[in-house]
Chain A
Amino acid sequence: DAMVIQNPRYQVTQFGKPVTLSCSQTLNHNVMYWYQQKSSQAPKLLFHYYDKDFNNEADTPDNFQSRRPNTSFCFLDIRSPGLGDAAMYLCATSSRQGVMDTQYFGPGTRLTVL
Chain B
Amino acid sequence: AQKVTQAQTEISVVEKEDVTLDCVYETRDTTYYLFWYKQPPSGELVFLIRRNSFDEQNEISGRYSWNFQKSTSSFNFTITASQVVDSAVYFCALSEAQVNDMRFGAGTRLTVKP
Q: What is the interface residue range for chain B against chain A?
A: 20 to 34
Q: What is the interface residue range for chain A against chain B?
A: 20 to 34
A45 within 8 A of B: yes
Identify which of residues 22-79 in chain A touch chain B, using a CB-to-CB cut-off of 8 Å: 31, 40-43, 45, 48, 50, 55
- In the complex with contacts A31-B100, A42-B104, A42-B106, A100-B95 CB distance below 8 A: yes
Mark interface residues in B46-86 (1 if CB within 8 Å of A CB, else 0).
11001010000000000000000000000000000000000
Instruction: Assess the B107–A100 pair: CB atoms within 8 A.
Output: no
Instruction: Assess the B47–A104 pair: CB atoms within 8 A.
Output: yes
- In the complex with contacts A90-B45, A108-B44, A99-B97 CB distance below 8 A: yes
B11 to chain A, nearest CB (A): 15
A88 within 8 A of B: yes
- Give the residues in chain B near A104, CB-CB below 8 Å: 47
Mark interface residues in B80-110 (1 if CB within 8 Å of A CB, else 0).
0000000000010001111111101111000
B25 within 8 A of A: no
Q: Which residue of A lies closest to B89 (CB)?
A: A40
B88 to chain A, nearest CB (A): 13
**A48→B44 CA distance, assembly (Å):** 18
Instruction: Assess the A43–B45 pair: CB atoms within 8 A.
Output: yes
B49 to chain A, nearest CB (A): 9
Instruction: Assess the B100–A105 pair: CB atoms within 8 A.
Output: no
- Give the residues in chain B near A107, CB-CB below 8 Å: 42-44
**A48→B91 CA distance, assembly (Å):** 20
Candidates A31, A40, A100, A106; contact of B44 at CB < 8 Å: A106
Instruction: Assess the B107–A42 pair: CB atoms within 8 A.
Output: yes
- Give the residues in chain A near B37, CB-CB below 8 Å: 105
- Give the residues in chain A near B91, CB-CB below 8 Å: 42-43
User: Could you list 5 examples of A-B contacts with CB < 8 Å?
Assistant: A42-B104, A55-B100, A92-B45, A96-B100, A107-B44
- Give 4 nearest A-B pairs by CB, closest first: A42-B104, A105-B45, A107-B44, A108-B43
